[in-house]
Amino acid sequence: MKNYQFIFFLIFACFLSINISYSQGFQIPNDTCPNVPITFVNPAPAAALHQWDFCLGDLKNTPTGVKINTGLPSTNRPEGIELAFDGTNWYGFITSRSGNSILRVNYGSSLSNIPTYTNLGNIGGLLNGPMGIKFMMYNNDWYAILVNVNVTTGNNGGLIRLNFGTNLGNNSPTATSITTTSLNFATDLDLKYDRANDKYVAIACNFGTNLVLYDFGSNLTNVSPASIATANLPGSGLHSVSLQKDQNNWYGVTVSFSTPVTVNHLSFGTNLYSTPTVTNISGNFTSFNSGFDALITREGNEFFAFFLTNVAGAGGVIYQLNFGSTLANQSPVFKDLGNLGVVGQIEASNPSSIAMAIAKDQSNWFLFAVNRFIGAVGNELARVSFPNEGCNSSITSSTSNSNVDVSFFNANKFFAELRTFDNQRRPLEFYNDSLTISSAIIPNFSFQNRCLGETTILTNNSIGNDSDVLTWEWSFGDGGTSNAKSPTHAYTQPGTYTISLTPKTASGLCDNAFTQQINIRTVPKASFEINDTLAANTVVNLTNTSTNFTKNSNSTFQWIINEGVGFRYFAENPSHTFSQPGFYNIILSVTDTINGCTSVASQAVTVGAIPEVGFRLNQQACTQNAITLVDTSSVNDVVGSKIVSYQWNFGGGVADQSLSTRPDTLQNPVVTFGFATTFEITLTVTTNFGVSNTIKKTITFAEGLSSQMSTSTTNGDAPLLVNFTNQNTTAVSHLWDFGDGTTSTAPNPSHVYSNPGIYTVTYKALAANGCSIPKTQQIIASAPNDVLEVALNDLSIVGDQLQVSVTNNGNTPVTNLSLRRILNKQDTLNLQWTGVINSLASETLTFDLGSGQGDITWHACVGVLAVNNTLDAKTTDNRVCKNTLDAQISSVIIQDNQYLITVRNNAIVPIKKLNLRLDVGTKQFTETTWTGTLNANEQTNILGTLTTEQLQGAPYFCATVMQLNDTTDANSQNNLGCQDISSDFQILCISPNPAVDFINIEYFLPQTQDRDVVQLQLTNSSGKVRGRVQLLNVLPGRNTYRYNTSGLTSGVYNLMFIRGNRTIVKKILVR
């Protein structure tokens, strides 16, 4: 019943113009390249209106549908619809057959808008079952011609003309009845302007089998047009007709209502007023329940017809007929577009979709269908859109009356069209043309890494098909070239280089080069110094010593210190105060300019505690006494600080010079103060980390009484009895120290020396002030027989040699030793040593291990088997064992894809090689190897990078020492370090599964846990609990727990892991 309205300027039901002239006259080239502006020359600039379309082919795309109104107002059995455009706004007009009214649909400036509705009512009271309606402009006024279905043969009122004046938005149009008695139950019509004869023609279809053509002449307001009736057409219940002119010939399509539905092709030749040749082109499409509306339209070089039907079981269905390049074709290609989910009220009772209209809005096609009930409730308006897919032009449409510049993006053959109209919006000329865009690649690329020493990665972002490329030609500006699609290149000198990419195709017609400049800069060399003592609660100044770049306002410095939650500084030379002793990492990142080159330097630092310094005198402050200054200093922290040096200032006291070590550097020096006065004594202690502290004390010394004594003997075999006699008459008290740990206050004591040895007896005759000038005497108690006894003090490995420290604790020289050496807890070897170790002397014995064995010895033991070919007198100190290879992971940091692992050597053998396994919790491990030299008690930082893909979704990052020096670590308890990435508790792995006797459960706990509790509950398939276990104070990071399953019967069990509010359930099979 409806025809369509053409885009912007075509307002009539049928869009194709009369007397169309085909022209290939846009003066465009036959072949060109993508993205090249093409000027389309307007062949008819004098026309009143123009409509260009550079994006054709929409009607061959798969459409989509949507119901834009599910309760159409003011309608009762709506069975006609038409679209019209006044140059600014779009309108739809829906006729109500039972309501005898017209509903205007107001779309505004675009058919894609949600419309409003205006009920125009029964205009002039002349509507009597209105159905088909068409619009046309005449003398600047808008007119509509409609048919009344309720008028039968012999009666006027079957054809009505509506006058909207100059405004389609007029709410009070007038109506006129056109004199005609030849309409009988007319359902549809089409309205055309015959430009060749300057006539307005309406053609209506009676519900019988014939068409009636009305000739208004040149005056559309003629109330008595001449009529011409055609012969009967094939089919029964003729329902809709649509006309179109192709070249100089007129064609039409009709569709019948009654079963079987008939689609007829009409050929009028050059004379629209002649009897047409009728051909049934229904083919196999005869299974329709009813046929309703028919439309003809054109896009580009192809003609299309649409008709609306009801198909049993499918509701409303739209069919498309593609006639190809000419309407003379009587074998069009049928295409079932379906109901698109919106046509024909497919889910309602008594469904029908009687009428449709099609229109082109700019470059977009829209089809509207009215779904009607026989009644005033439930009527719907559906919109079908034909997508403007794959449009490869810079603009899709234009209304310019001048030339238009357009670019096409991809290789293909493209069509363009131009429709022109007169000032009454009637079609004038139709022009189309085509051009071929040759295969071409639009070159483009991006790059990353602009720093000297890095590999520059070039990413090919060219647009086009790779299959069209014969070769990629790259020039890097330094003489280097490549034919890879996305190559890499390493520049050897800083500077600005021009990179060029030319994709070479077979035709070569559209080969172009794309160039970009890259500035290769030198990489800064980041470094810094710490000249201050690294002590807790002391300001530490960080001195930036970075080189190899020119500092400017855009240079940036970033310092990261992993203390607590972490500190960041952005000053060039910041300062920091460590609040606690500990092992820390300081990282400096230097970037020379914005988006510039970055270098990173790091130092592992040990921050120690400040020692508490103090001392006391081992006796009263008396002159001329050898007084020991007893050090009471202490230090205790997590880094293992210990006091390693002492510096005394005795303030005038005279120290014991008998030792080889300077007395002012001894921990507990012996000092004599020669006269009674006040002395200022100062002690400074320094830890192994260079942290010092000082104390000063002022002490007053008093004069003492000179002590005299005699002994009954000074030597003899043990046990030796010695009688002591004081020779002082003025002493108020006495103090005897016998040199073997015993004392006496008797005036004249006796003492027995039970053990052999050399003893120094000290006697003090004390004056009233408590002071004395002591007297000493040496007593020698000899052993009655020879004693053989040695002590093993320590062992070490230096290179490939085993060194053992031995002390002769007997009274007889040691001339040979039998020792047993055990390496790595399994390699046993007996050793022999000969030489001389005198009584109470010490010696370091050296034994060869073999070439390369020192580096791979991780544990060593040495024990005494015999001394001078006999048994050792004691066995408590004649064996020594030590871990000789022990690597500890002190800390792990990961940030911005970079990781830093701090490793410490806790043993005595230098670490020269470390094999590390990196774990990010995704059941994939990365192996990495470090080589260098890490001496005893030293630590080093290992830097590396992980990809974004490796870290995606990772719960944590862990590093584990797998081997060191290609052998075993003696202590596996400190080989793991982790940092959280996720804050979630996770179950990582349960194995073996199926299980027999046990399962190993690997799980991850975040660092934030505090006295964490993880409960494991095991239930069988019936839900009965068969086991529980609770882990308290588990460590953050990766953990492993072994669960005993030997007592379980065979079957499937659920393991439920409960931590806080999080519960994880896993299944295991026990065999």
Q: Mind listing the pLDDT tens digit for each residue in 906-947?
A: 989 999 999 998 888 766 778 899 999 999 888 898 988 888
d(CA 66, CA 385): 9
pLDDT at 3: 35
Number of domains in the chain: 8
pLDDT at 576: 94
pLDDT at 1009: 52
pLDDT at 23: 37
Are 765 and 804 contained in the same domain? no
What is the chain's alpha carbon radius of gyration, rounded to the nearest angstrom? 54
439 assigned to some structural domain: no
CA distances from 489 to 519, 1002, 1052 (A): 14, 44, 57
Q: Please give the DSSP secondary-structure letter assigned to residue 24.
A: -
Are 333 and 237 contained in the same domain? yes
Q: Please give the DSSP secondary-structure letter assigned to residue 74.
A: T
d(CA 911, CA 963): 10
Q: Please, what is the average pLDDT of the chain?
A: 87
Q: Which among 1036, 907, 1048, 932 is positioned nearest to 984, based on CA atoms? A: 1036
> How far is C-alpha 467 from the chain's CA centre?
32
Question: Could you give the angle at the alpha carbon of 467 between the alpha carbons of 464 and 472, nearest 5°?
Answer: 75
Are 329 and 353 contained in the same domain? yes
pLDDT at residue 1032 tops 80: no
Q: Average pLDDT in the 632-638 region? A: 94
H or E element in which residue 950 lies: helix 948-951
d(CA 800, CA 254): 107
Q: Which among 793, 794, 788, 758 is positioned nearest to 776, based on CA atoms? A: 758
Is 883 in contact with 970 (CB distance < 8 Å)? yes
The tens digit of pLDDT for each residue in 410-440 reads 778 888 999 999 999 999 999 989 888 887 7
Are 155 and 237 contained in the same domain? yes
Number of neighbours of residue 931 by Cβ within 10 angstroms: 8
248 assigned to some structural domain: yes
The tens digit of pLDDT for each residue in 362-386 reads 999 999 999 987 778 888 999 999 9
pLDDT at 658: 64
Are 306 and 370 contained in the same domain? yes
Contacts by residues 93-99 (CB-CB < 8 Å, ≥ 24 positions apart): 93/133, 93/135, 93/144, 94/355, 94/370, 94/381, 95/127, 95/130, 95/131, 95/132, 95/133, 95/146, 96/130, 97/129, 97/130, 97/131, 97/149, 98/129, 98/374, 98/375, 98/376, 99/74, 99/75, 99/376
Q: Which comes out higher in pLDDT, residue 311 or 83? A: 83
Q: Average pLDDT in the 837-841 region? A: 83
Is 245 in contact with 251 (CB distance < 8 Å)? yes
d(CA 587, CA 604): 9
Cβ within 8 Å of residue 970, ≥6 positions away: 858, 859, 883, 884, 885, 886, 907
Are 43 and 179 contained in the same domain? yes
d(CA 129, CA 161): 14
Q: How far apart are the first and last CA of the chain?
A: 77
327 assigned to some structural domain: yes
Cβ within 8 Å of residue 827, ≥6 positions away: none
Looking at the chain, the whole-number percentage of residues with pLDDT higher than 70 is 93
Are 131 and 255 contained in the same domain? yes
3-state secondary structure of 616: strand
Q: Which among 468, 362, 463 is positioned nearest to 85, based on CA atoms? A: 362
Q: Average pLDDT in the 805-833 region? A: 87
pLDDT at residue 4 tops 50: no
The pair of three-digit structure tokens given for residue 454, joined into one six-digit string? 């890095």
Is 1017 in contact with 1066 (CB distance < 8 Å)? no
Are 477 and 508 contained in the same domain? yes
pLDDT at 877: 66
My answer on whether omega of the bond before 276 falls inside 30° of 0, hence cis, is no
> Which of 742, 757, 782 is the C-terminal boundary of a domain?
782
pLDDT at residue 211 tops 70: yes
Range of the domain at 599: 528-607
Is 551 in contact with 614 (CB distance < 8 Å)? no
> How far is C-alpha 79 from the chain's CA centre?
57
Q: Which among 606, 614, 641 is positioned nearest to 630, based on CA atoms? A: 614
d(CA 102, CA 128): 11
The pair of three-digit structure tokens given for residue 403, joined into one six-digit string? 């030339």
CATH of the domain at 479: 2.60.40.10
Q: Average pLDDT in the 989-1001 region? A: 86
The tens digit of pLDDT for each residue in 751-798 reads 999 887 789 999 999 999 989 888 999 998 876 656 677 888 899 999
Cβ within 8 Å of residue 136, ≥6 positions away: 11, 12, 142, 143, 144, 145, 191, 193, 200, 220, 426
Looking at the chain, the whole-number percentage of residues with pLDDT higher than 90 is 54
Number of neighbours of residue 471 by Cβ within 10 angstroms: 12
> Which of 868, 883, 898 is the C-terminal boundary of a domain?
883
pLDDT at 348: 54
Maximum separation of any 2 CA atoms in the chain, in Å: 171
pLDDT at 362: 93
3-state secondary structure of 137: strand
Q: Which among 157, 103, 61, 169 is positioned nearest to 355, based on CA atoms? A: 103
Q: Please give the DSSP secondary-structure letter assigned to residue 665.
A: G
> Which of 520, 537, 553 is the C-terminal boundary of a domain?
520
pLDDT at residue 269 tops 90: yes
Task: Count CA within 13 A, CB hemisphere, residue 1056.
Answer: 16
409 assigned to some structural domain: no
pLDDT at residue 12 tops 50: no
pLDDT at residue 8 tops 70: no
pLDDT at 951: 78
Are 717 and 766 contained in the same domain? yes
Is 982 in contact with 1007 (CB distance < 8 Å)? no
pLDDT at 7: 30
pLDDT at 785: 57
Are 749 and 864 contained in the same domain? no
The tens digit of pLDDT for each residue in 67-122 reads 998 789 999 999 999 999 999 999 999 999 999 999 999 999 999 999 999 999 99
d(CA 267, CA 142): 30
CA distances from 205 to 83, 126, 232, 549 (A): 20, 20, 11, 89
One-letter amino acid for residue 895 of the chain: Q
CATH of the domain at 244: 2.120.10.30
Is 343 in contact with 352 (CB distance < 8 Å)? no
pLDDT at 870: 82
pLDDT at 998: 87
Quote the strand ranges of 884-1021, DSSP E.
887-895, 898-905, 911-919, 925-934, 939-945, 956-964, 976-980, 986-991, 998-1005, 1013-1020
Is 472 in contact with 503 (CB distance < 8 Å)? yes
20 assigned to some structural domain: no
Are 345 and 464 contained in the same domain? no
428 assigned to some structural domain: no
Are 451 and 545 contained in the same domain? no
pLDDT at residue 540 tops 60: yes
pLDDT at 910: 94
Cβ within 8 Å of residue 545, ≥6 positions away: 527, 528, 529
pLDDT band for 16, please (50, 70, 90 cuts).
very low
> How far is C-alpha 857 from the chain's CA centre?
45
Cβ within 8 Å of residue 235, ≥6 positions away: 209, 254, 256, 258, 260, 261, 262, 264, 280
Q: Which comes out higher in pLDDT, residue 474 or 1040? A: 474
d(CA 702, CA 620): 9
pLDDT at 10: 30
> How far is C-alpha 1034 from the chain's CA centre?
31
964 assigned to some structural domain: yes
> How far is C-alpha 200 from the chain's CA centre?
68
396 assigned to some structural domain: no
pLDDT at 314: 58
Question: Whole-structure pTM over 0.85, yes or no?
Answer: no
Cβ within 8 Å of residue 936, ≥6 positions away: 905, 907, 908, 909, 910
d(CA 162, CA 142): 8
The residues pairing with 848 across neighbouring beta strands, listed in sequence order, are 801
